[in-house]
């Protein structure tokens, strides 16, 4: 008999009902002796006797059924409709730094459209010597780069400004993904058309009904912006802009135009809907910051966390999470288990790289008492991730966007965790 719950992360509900059963025998962990032989070992199992699936059973592989709860999730009450809405990456259940495309968050303004490579056109116009039209095939003939970058929605953690609200790292910090992109530098395409010296901005827009137009200063456009057509080695997914999207490293996700169809060189910002009425940050006195493009340094403990409670009792515990900065590389992450009184340097799984996610670990010996877990990121510019109060002192509670505060998880003696704020 196979056990269909094997390998499945516990849901919060299951966890609560099964709390008494977990952790039994874990005290004095490691050397604990089994009371009776484990039938999974002593009895022949079905999978060890019969055969499994042949090749081609799934021409494009999907995660095994035991992982079916590791999926994007939506918070229905946030938006009027799923067509102009957002969902969240299950960061609480992932490890490493690369986000699989199939569970990377989606944000659409008029739905994920289906645009084939054959129907794809990219226009460069405005203040250029020769306005040009490229086909998809044309783009694949330019020299290409491979780069890993995070893409974070400016509204990530935006529901938490006024206090703890959503109970899970997926919901508080899941508007982020991190992929390896293959594409052509935007600079190459602009130079192909011939930039006129009056061109100070590019206005970029998508082929979908929303267009989601955004203005990007020329300095950035010529620096590290990519016109990408592959992510993690394969074609972009429809929901991420197939066949071509813009990659704007370190800057808010709204600028990463999906289904990119036009790049216009202009002498001023267009001040579109997405850069005036939205993606501007209102301060306490009612004035608003605009052009807040860069994403500040930020980190979060992904496990343990409300959706990823401790199920094994005291003893060795892997505390892990993600850190990133739009201004450069992560140089260090500190972790606190006492709500920020004392901090311990975490171990970075690999040295931080420019504008990409960094995985950190704190290999902890948990004594079974409650913890107020926090992580604090530092980046290569010397920026240190602020507390929520530090942020609110400058910005008030109505910014919506760019909330990069230190997050607190209250891990209880039972191992269950909750999103809280601390003094």
Partner 1 sequence: MSKYRKLFAALALGLCLAAPAYAGTFGLGRPALPEEIAAWDVDVAPDGTGLPEGSGDVFTGEEVFAEYCAICHGDFAEGVDNWPKLAGGDGTLADKDPLKTVGSYWPYLSTVWDYVNRSMPFGNAQSLEPDDVYAIVAYILYSNDIVDDEFTLSHENFLDVDMPNAEGFIVDDRETAEAHFWTDEPCMSDCKETVEITMRAAVLDVTPEETGTDAEGGSPAVQEAAVETEEAVEETVALDPEMIESGKKVFKKCKSCHQVGEGAKHRTGPALNGIVGADAGAVEGFKYSKALKAAAEEGLVWTDEEMAAFLAKPTAYLKGTQMSFAGLKKQDDIDAVIVYLKSFGS
**Least distance in angstroms from the C-beta of 60 to partner 1:** 21
Looking at the DSSP bridge assignments, the partners of residue 159 are none
CA neighbor of 249 nearest in space, from 333, 302, 324, 173: 324
Rounded distance between C-alpha atoms, residue 169 and residue 157, angstroms: 9
Buried b (16+ CB within 10 A) or exposed e, 343-379: eeebebeeebbbbbbbbbbbebebebeebbbbbbbbb
Contact 382, 364 (CB under 8 A): no
Tell me whether residue 29 or residue 75 sits nearer to partner 1 (CB atom).
Answer: 75
Neighbours of 129 (CB within 10 A): 10
**Least distance in angstroms from the C-beta of 34 to partner 1:** 26
Rounded distance between C-alpha atoms, residue 392 and residue 381, angstroms: 22
Say how many CA atoms lie within 13 Å of 176 toward its Cβ.
38
**Least distance in angstroms from the C-beta of 30 to partner 1:** 30
* CA angle, 399 then 74 then 292, to 5°: 25
Tell me whether residue 217 or residue 315 sits nearer to partner 1 (CB atom).
Answer: 217
Tell me whether residue 34 or residue 83 sits nearer to partner 1 (CB atom).
Answer: 83
**Least distance in angstroms from the C-beta of 56 to partner 1:** 24
Tell me whether residue 137 or residue 234 sits nearer to partner 1 (CB atom).
Answer: 137
Dihedral of alpha carbons 253, 259, 264, 270, sign: negative
Rounded distance between C-alpha atoms, residue 182 and residue 340, angstroms: 40
Token pair in block for residue 275: 């850069």
Contact 333, 257 (CB under 8 A): no
**Least distance in angstroms from the C-beta of 92 to partner 1:** 12
Tell me whether residue 240 or residue 378 sits nearer to partner 1 (CB atom).
Answer: 378
**Least distance in angstroms from the C-beta of 410 to partner 1:** 6
Tell me whether residue 126 or residue 249 sits nearer to partner 1 (CB atom).
Answer: 126
Looking at the DSSP bridge assignments, the partners of residue 263 are 124, 204
**Least distance in angstroms from the C-beta of 325 to partner 1:** 12
Tell me whether residue 95 or residue 271 sits nearer to partner 1 (CB atom).
Answer: 271
Tell me whether residue 95 or residue 418 sits nearer to partner 1 (CB atom).
Answer: 418
Give the phi and the psi of residue 297 in degrees, each rounded to 5.
Answer: -60, 140
**Least distance in angstroms from the C-beta of 33 to partner 1:** 31
């Amino acid at each position: 008999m196979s056990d269909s719950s094997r390998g499945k992360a516990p849901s919060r509900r299951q966890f609560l009902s099964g709390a008494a059963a977990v952790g039994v025998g874990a005290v004095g962990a490691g050397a604990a002796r089994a009371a009776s032989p484990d039938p999974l070992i002593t009895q022949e199992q079905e999978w060890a006797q019969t055969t499994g699936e042949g090749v081609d059973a799934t021409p494009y592989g999907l995660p095994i059924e035991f992982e079916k709860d590791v999926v994007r999730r939506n918070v229905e009450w946030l938006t009027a409709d799923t067509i102009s809405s957002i969902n969240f990456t299950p960061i609480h259940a992932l490890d490493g730094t690369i986000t699989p495309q199939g569970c990377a968050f989606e944000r659409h303004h008029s739905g994920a459209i289906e645009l084939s490579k054959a129907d794809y056109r990219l226009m460069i116009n405005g203040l250029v010597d020769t306005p040009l039209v490229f086909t998809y095939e044309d783009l694949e003939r330019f020299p290409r780069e491979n780069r890993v970058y995070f893409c974070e929605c400016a509204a990530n953690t935006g529901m938490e400004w006024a206090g703890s609200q959503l109970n899970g790292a997926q919901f508080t910090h899941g508007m982020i993904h991190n992929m390896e992109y293959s594409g052509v530098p935007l600079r190459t395409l602009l130079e192909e058309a011939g930039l006129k010296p009056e061109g100070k901005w590019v206005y970029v827009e998508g082929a979908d009904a929303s267009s989601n137009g955004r203005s990007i200063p020329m300095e950035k456009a010529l620096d590290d912006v990519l016109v990408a057509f592959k992510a993690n080695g394969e074609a972009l997914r429809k929901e991420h802009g197939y066949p071509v999207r813009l990659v704007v490293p370190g800057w808010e996700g709204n600028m990463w135009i999906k289904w990119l169809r036009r790049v216009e060189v202009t002498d001023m910002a267009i001040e579109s809907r997405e850069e005036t009425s939205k993606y501007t940050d209102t301060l306490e006195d009612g004035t608003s910051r605009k052009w807040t493009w860069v994403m500040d340094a930020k980190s979060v403990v992904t496990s343990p966390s409300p959706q990823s409670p401790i199920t094994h009792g005291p003893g060795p515990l892997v505390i892990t999470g993600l850190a990133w900065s739009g201004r450069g590389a992560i140089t260090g992450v500190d972790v606190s288990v006492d709500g920020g009184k004392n901090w311990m340097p975490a171990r970075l799984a690999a040295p931080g790289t420019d504008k990409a996610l960094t995985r950190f670990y704190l290999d902890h010996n948990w004594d079974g008492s409650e913890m107020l877990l926090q992580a604090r990121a530092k980046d290569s510019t010397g920026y240190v991730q602020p507390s929520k109060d530090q942020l609110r002192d400058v910005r008030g509670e109505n910014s919506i966007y760019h909330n990069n505060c230190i997050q607190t998880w209250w891990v209880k003696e039972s191992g269950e965790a909750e999103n809280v704020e601390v003094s």
